Structure 1
Amino acid sequence: MEIKTAVLHILDLEGGSLICSKAPLTLSDYAVKTYLAGCLKKFQTADLKTGHLPTNNDIVAILRDPSLDFIGQSEAVAMILHDCLKQGQEIPGGDLLCFIGEQTNQAYFGVFKLNYKPAYTHYVDYEGENLFNNLIINQTILPNVTQKVEEGFWINLDTLEFELIEKKYSFDGQKTFYLSDLILKAEVTPTVQDNLKIVKKAVKEIADKYNEEKYVSFSNVQQAVYESIETEGKLSNEKIAEAVFEGNHSAKADYLERVEQTKFVEDVPINVPKYEKKYSKQKLKLANGIELTIPIDVYQDKELIEFINNPDGTISVMIKNVDDIINKF
C-alpha cells in the first residue's frame, strides 16, 4: 500500500470536540513518512476482519459525493465517528488518520484511530524569576511507530470491500464492536484467531464427550491448521475434522455439526506466511513444568519423539536419536 494523501484530525472525546485539519500532511517530511509507513505495516500484518459495504451506507455516500474533495470526505467521516463515539463510555480519545492509498492499481480510503497513550515528559516552568524543569504526564501521546494499530479500516473504492481491526466499547451498557456494527453497518468475517477459537472450543467439547486425549487432539488440530494453510491457503474444516477424529465417525460428525452452528469461515484472506510460521512448531507444557517446542515434522516422527501412555495413567515423553545438545544460554 502506498499512501497518496493523508490528513490528521483530533478526536477529543474528553472535551467533546472534533478538531479537523484543513490541509493534508506533508508526505515528504521524514517524520510523517516514517510514522505512516509504520502504521501501514502494523495494520497489514494484523489479524483483520473483512467485509463488503452496502451501497446505501453513509460512508459510501460521502466517498461518492462529487462535491467533496478528500479533505471534505475525511471531515465528514470523522464527524460520523465523533458523533458515534461520544455516545459510548470509557472510550479513549485519539487522532484520526484519514488517507487515500493505492495498492495493485486499486484505490483505497482508510481511517486509523490512533489512541492516545499517557507518557511522562519534561515541562519548563518558573517560580518567580527562577527556571525549573518539572515532570508531567502528557495524556495525548500517539502510539509509538512500532506499536500496532488498534482500530481502523480501509475500503476499496471500486469494490467497497474492506479490511478492519476493531475493539469493543460500551454503548448503553452493552459491549459493541462499534466500527462494524455502528459505523460500517456491515457483516464481517471472523479473523483467523476468531476461527481458531471456534475450532478449539468445538474440539475440546467433542474430545471430552468421546474421552479423547485433549493434548493429542489439539496437537492434531495444529498439524491440520498448518498443513491446510500451507497447501490450500485456508482453514479446511474437513481436514481438521479428519486429522483430529480419524476413525471416529461419530465424533467427526458431531464436531462438523458443532462448527456449522457457528460463524466459522474457511477462507484466510491475508497473512498466510504469518500463520504458517506460528503453527509450524508444537509447543507443549508438561505437568512437571517442562516445556517443549517441537517442529511439526519432528513431532510426527516416532523415531525422534514418542508419547507413551503408562499403565498408571501418566504419560512418558521419549526423545530419541539425538546426536548433540546445544545449550542456548
Structure 2
Amino acid sequence: MDIYIKEAVIHQFSPEDTELILADKVLTITPKIEEYLRKKIERSYSDEAKTGQLGAESPFLDYLSDDLLASSVSIANLWKEEFSVSENLKTNDLVFVRFEKNGVEHFAFLRISLRENLVHVGAESDSPLKLTQNNLPSAGSAPDEALILNLQNYKYHLIEKRIKYNGTFLNYFSDNVLQDNPVISAKKSIKAVEQTAQKIAENFNQADFQFQSKIKSAIFNHLEEDNALSPEKLANQLFDDNLTARLTFVDELKDIIPERVSFEEIDSSRQLKKFENQKLSLSNGIELIVPTTIYEDAESVEFIQNDNGTYSILIKNIEDIKSK
C-alpha cells in the first residue's frame, strides 16, 4: 500500500469539560510520526471497516476544503457535539491527515483514545515507576475510530464504535457526523453468510459436518479467486440441487448485505487464513487439520458413510509421514 503523508493536524478532546484543545498549526511530520500515521491509516483498511460512497450533495463534504487546519476544526467541533453525549468519555486525540494513496488524494480522520501507562523515569530504587497520562497506543494497533475518504470518488472506509446514550447504543458517526448509511463490514458480511447458510441447511436437513465444510470452502474459494462474495454465486454452489433453498438464501441475505461484498482495498488475509484449513474434531478424540484445497480433492481425502451410520475417513496418496 503506497501511502504518502502530506499534512496532519492533532486536536484533543477532554472528557472533564467535554471541550476541545485545538491546535493552531499543522503538525511537523518527522519520520517517526510519518510511520505512526501511515500504520494507523493502513490498519483502517481492515475487514472490520464499513464501506460506502458519499454523494456529491453530501453535507459532510461541505466541511472539507484545501485548508486542512480549518477543515479539521470544523469537523472536530461537529464530532464533539455528537460524541460528548456518550456515557463513557475518555481523553482522545483527533488526528486529521491529508495523504496520497497510489497517487490519489485522501482525507483521514482518526480517533485515538489515550492511555495511562507506567514508565521507568528515575533512578530511585524505591519508586522508579511513574504513572504517565495521555499516552498514545502502539502504531500497530487500529485506531478506535477512523474515516478514510477518497477525495476523487468519495468512497470511504469507516471504523466506528457505537456510543451509549440514555441506555441506547447509537451509531453516532455514520448517522450524525457522516450522515450516510454504509454497508456493514466484510467481517460481519461473512458471518451473516455463514449463519444464513447454516440456518437454510437446517431447514432442509442438510446441516451436517460436510455442509459446514462446504461453506468454508466456498467462502475461501470466492475470496481467493474474486476478492469478493456474491450471494447468488454462493447460493448456486451451496444449494446447487435445491432451487427453493437457493432463493431463500439470497432473499434472507439481501437486507443484510448488498448484491456483492467487495474486498476492494481491504486486507482479506485474515479471513483467508481463517478459512484456509478445515478443522475436524472426531468422536474418538482424533482432531484433523486439512488444507481446504486438499479437503476438496477426492484423490487426497475421502469421507465414507458406513451402513451403520458411522463415518470413515480415507487419506490417500501419502508420500511421507513425520511426527511433530
Pairwise TM-score range, normalised by the shorter structure: 0.7 to 0.9
Tell me, which stretches of 5 or more residues in structure 2 are unaligned? none
Measured in 2, the distance between the counterparts of 1:46 and 1:246 equals: 28
Provide, for residues 141-166 of structure 1, a one-character-per-residue CA deviation record: whole Å limited to 9, x for no partner: 21111212231012222332211111
- 1:311 to partner: Cα distance: 4.4
- 1:52 to partner: Cα distance: 2.1
Residues 311 and 117 (structure 1 numbering): CA distance in 2 closer, same or farther, change over 3 Å?
Answer: farther
Residues 288 and 181 (structure 1 numbering): CA distance in 2 closer, same or farther, change over 3 Å?
Answer: farther
Measured in 2, the distance between the counterparts of 1:301 and 1:187 equals: 42
Find out whether 1:77 has 2:75 as its counterpart. yes
Q: TM-score, normalised by structure 1?
A: 0.86
* Cα RMSD for the two superposed structures: 2.6
- 1:117 to partner: Cα distance: 3.1
Residues 96 and 259 (structure 1 numbering): CA distance in 2 closer, same or farther, change over 3 Å?
Answer: same
Other-structure match for 1:31: 32
Q: What code does the residue aligned with 2:119 have? A: T
- 1:111 to partner: Cα distance: 0.5
Other-structure match for 1:270: 265
Residues 17 and 71 (structure 1 numbering): CA distance in 2 closer, same or farther, change over 3 Å?
Answer: same
Equivalent position SS for 1:133: coil
Tell me, which stretches of 5 or more residues in structure 1 are unaligned? none
| 2:145 aligned to which of 141, 151, 157 | 151
- 1:213 to partner: Cα distance: 3.0
Provide, for residues 268-291 of structure 1, a one-character-per-residue CA deviation record: whole Å limited to 9, x for no partner: 123365244543332334455544
Q: Contact (CA 8 Å) 1:116, 1:143: kept in 2 or not? A: yes
Residues 291 and 132 (structure 1 numbering): CA distance in 2 closer, same or farther, change over 3 Å?
Answer: same
Other-structure match for 2:179: 185
Q: What code does the residue aligned with 1:270 have? A: E
Q: Counterparts in 2 of 1:104-119, with a 5 A limit? A: 104-119=102-117
Other-structure match for 1:43: 44
Measured in 2, the distance between the counterparts of 1:252 and 1:117 equals: 49
Other-structure match for 1:319: 315
Residues 300 and 140 (structure 1 numbering): CA distance in 2 closer, same or farther, change over 3 Å?
Answer: same
Other-structure match for 1:295: 291
Residues 323 and 92 (structure 1 numbering): CA distance in 2 closer, same or farther, change over 3 Å?
Answer: farther
Other-structure match for 1:2: 4
Measured in 2, the distance between the counterparts of 1:77 and 1:289 equals: 57
Find out whether 1:306 has 2:307 as its counterpart. no
Measured in 2, the distance between the counterparts of 1:239 and 1:138 equals: 54
Runs of 4+ in 1 over 6 A off after TM superposition: none
Q: Contact (CA 8 Å) 1:305, 1:317: kept in 2 or not? A: yes
Q: TM-score, normalised by structure 2?
A: 0.87
Other-structure match for 2:194: 200
- 1:243 to partner: Cα distance: 1.9
- 1:300 to partner: Cα distance: 1.0
| 2:221 aligned to which of 209, 227, 234 | 227
Measured in 2, the distance between the counterparts of 1:3 and 1:46 equals: 23
- 1:314 to partner: Cα distance: 4.0
- 1:12 to partner: Cα distance: 1.6
Measured in 2, the distance between the counterparts of 1:245 and 1:21 equals: 57
| 2:23 aligned to which of 18, 21, 24 | 21
Identity of aligned residues (%): 27
| 1:121 aligned to which of 100, 115, 119 | 119
Residues 272 and 11 (structure 1 numbering): CA distance in 2 closer, same or farther, change over 3 Å?
Answer: closer
How many equivalent pairs are there? 320
| 1:101 aligned to which of 93, 99, 103 | 99
